[in-house]
Each structure stands twice: as C-alpha cells, then as structure tokens.
Amino acid sequence: MDAYRRHQQYMRDYAQYFGGPSPPPTAPPSATQTEHDLVRQHHQFLRDPNADALIATLDGNGRWAAQLAKAYYDRLFKEYCLGDLSRYKTGKVALRWRTHREVVAGKGQWECGNLACSERSGLKSWEVLFGYVEQGEKKSALVKLRLCPNCTRKLHYKKDKERRRQRRERTQDAGDDEGESATRPNEDRVTIAITSPIPISEPYTRV
Ligand SMILES: [Zn+2]
C-alpha cells in the first residue's frame, strides 16, 4: 500500500470510529462560525477524553484500527500547517492549523499548503516556526509547510530579493545575478524564523 492509500485508509478508519469526514465531528458548523471557531473546536475535540473511552469499548481489531487511525491523525494535525501567501511580496505569511476537513482531504500534505493553491505535484516540505495561542497561552512549534515550486518561490521571495540586492552591491560590475538559484542550498527543509508567537486571529507576521 502506498503512502497516499494508507492515508485514505487511516482517514476512513478515523471517520468510522470518531465521526464523519466533514464537517468537524463535535458539532455541525453554523453560518456564523468563523474558520477560527472551527479550528478551536477541533483543538477541543483532540483533547476529548471520550475518544479514549470510546477506544476502550471496542473489541481487539477495532481497538487496534482506531488507535492507529487516531495516532496517525493526531500526529498529522501537529505536523503540517497551511499558509496564506497573498502578501508574499512584503515578506509576510500567515500560518494556521488545518481544520478537520483539511486533514482528511490531505490539504497541505498531498496538496499545496498555500490556501489559494491546489497544485499536487512537485511538493516540498519547509520547516517553519509557527507561533499561536492555545487556551490563552502563547506557544510556538516547528511545523511543516508543504508547497509547490511556485508557492515555494513566493515563500522565499522577500529573502531572495534581499540576497539578490546584496549580491548586486557586491558585484556591481557583473551586472547579472541570475546565477543566484544555483547557489541556493539544495535542501528540503529550512527554518524560517518568525519573530514572535502570534495568535491565529492576528495572522500576519514577518518571516
Ligand atoms: Zn502552490
């Protein structure tokens, strides 16, 4: 079974034992709910002790499948985030956790993590420091933002531009900085420092 099929299988098991794939399992979303409300509701769901109580009631096979699916789901939820890159030219990116629906659909894992993009090929994981507020407490975590090549370019736009400018200043006589991309480290993961933890409701921060 390949990784994507395994993902689908775990999500089916998860839905079977803990609720349908969408909308979030604790309660149907109302028209007045914001995305922030959905994410917060999801946080509460993950901490729901009823999930453990439910697992305890299952027989051997069911318990095993439910535990596997839940462990996979919980790990996924904290592993990937999504980004709003619409202000990339100013070097700002807004990060947030995924909703239940997005985890199940694989948005940000099998599909580009830029909210405005649905590309599924050529994805790369970038490690980002994500500041957020959980139950009134500021926290930060290193999470993955998985992006297609075009959105990766946006993520690094400001820094690349700055690098090009510095290079131009250093080698004014060369007049051409197109060799820049060849010198970029060929790594899958980099750390992008976000200056301070930020709440989800005030999403924009400088990278
Ligand atoms: Zn993209």
Domain boundaries, the chain: 3-79, 82-206
DSSP 3-state assignment of 198? coil
Q: How far is the CA of 124 from the centre of ligand 1 (A)?
A: 10
Q: Is the pLDDT of residue 81 over 50?
A: yes
Q: How far is the CA of 84 from the centre of ligand 1 (A)?
A: 11
**49 CA distance to ligand 1 centroid (A)?**
36
Average pLDDT of span 159-170 = 87
Q: How far apart are CA 24 and CA 36, in angstroms?
A: 13
Question: Is 154 or 198 the better-scoring residue by pLDDT?
Answer: 154
- The whole-chain average pLDDT of the chain stands at 74
Q: pTM of the entire structure? A: 0.64
Distance 54 CA to ligand 1 centre (A): 38
Mean pLDDT throughout 44-71? Answer: 75
| Each residue's pLDDT tens digit, 7-23 | 988 888 888 888 754 44
Distance between Cα 56 and ligand 1 center (Å)? 41
Q: Which residues of 36-64 are buried (b: 16+ CB within 10 A; e: fewer)?
A: eebbbbbeebeeeeebeebbeeeeeeeee
What pLDDT is stored for residue 33 in this prediction? 52
pLDDT single digits (tens) 98-126: 888 898 899 999 999 999 999 999 999 99
